[in-house]
Structure 1
Amino acid sequence: MTKAIARVPTRNGSRYLQQLCKHWAHNLAVEFTPEHGTITFPRDARGATWASDALVTMDARDETLDVTIDASSPEHLDAMKGVVARHLDRFAFREAPLTFDWA
C-alpha cells in the first residue's frame, strides 16, 4: 500500500468531513462521527482503474482537517488525491481552493 497525508488548514473540518461522508455514503462503505471518518473505495467503484481497495481517513481538528489516503499504487494514490481534493473543495466553496500539502 502507498500512503499520503495532508493537513488541510480549515476551522470547518468537522462540517466538511460529515458532508463528504454523507455524500459518499450513498455508494461506498462509510463510517463517521463529527471528528473521524473512513471511506472505503472498492476496486470496482464507478470509473475505478485500480486493482484493489483504497481507504480514505479524515480527522477533524480545531485548525485542520487531516486526510490520509491508503492506496494500492502510486498511480492509484495520485488519482485518489484528486478525487478527495475536488470533492472537499465543492463543500468548502467559501474557502476553496483548500490547501493540500500531501506528504
Structure 2
Amino acid sequence: MNATTHFTTDHAERYLGTLCKHFGHKVPVTHAGRSGEITLPFGACALTAEDTGLTMTAQAPDQAQLDRAVQVITSHLERFAFRENPELDWAYTPA
C-alpha cells in the first residue's frame, strides 16, 4: 500500500535534510541531494525536494502499518515546519 502527499514550501530541501538527519539517528536513511528515504520498522517513506515543495510517498505492507508511517512522518514534519503549519492531504493507493 502507498500514500503520497505534497507539501508546498520554499524550504523543501531544508525539511528533507532535517527529516533525514533526525531519523538517521534511529533508523536506516539514505539522503542524496534532493531525495531521501527513511526506512521505519513498519514502512518506508521516499522524499523528493522539488521547486514547488516536498513530495513524500509512504509504503507499507498493510493499512495499519501505512497509517502509522504516515502519522510518524506527518507529526515530525509538522514539528520541523511549524512556522508554515503544514496541512498534509495524503492520497492512498493500493500497491
TM-score, with structure 1 as normaliser? 0.83
Measured after TM superposition, the shift of residue 81 of structure 1 is 1.1
Q: Which has the higher helix share?
A: 2
Asked if 1:24 corresponds to 2:23, the answer is yes
AA at the equivalent of 1:3? N
* Secondary structure of the structure 2 residue equivalent to 1:31: strand
**Is the 2:44–2:69 Cα contact (8 Å) retained in structure 1?**
no
TM-score, with structure 2 as normaliser? 0.89
AA at the equivalent of 1:22? K
Among candidates 41, 63, 82, match of residue 93 of structure 1? 82
Q: Unaligned regions of 5+ residues in structure 2, if any?
A: none
Among candidates 69, 79, 82, match of residue 80 of structure 1? 69
The ranges of structure 1 where at least 4 consecutive aligned residues each deviate by more than 6 angstroms after the TM superposition are none
AA at the equivalent of 1:72? P
- What root-mean-square deviation, in Å, do the aligned CA atoms of Structure 1 and Structure 2 show? 1.1
Q: Distance in 1 between matches of 2:38 and 2:28?
A: 6
Counting aligned pairs with the same residue, the percent is 37
| Count of residue correspondences | 91
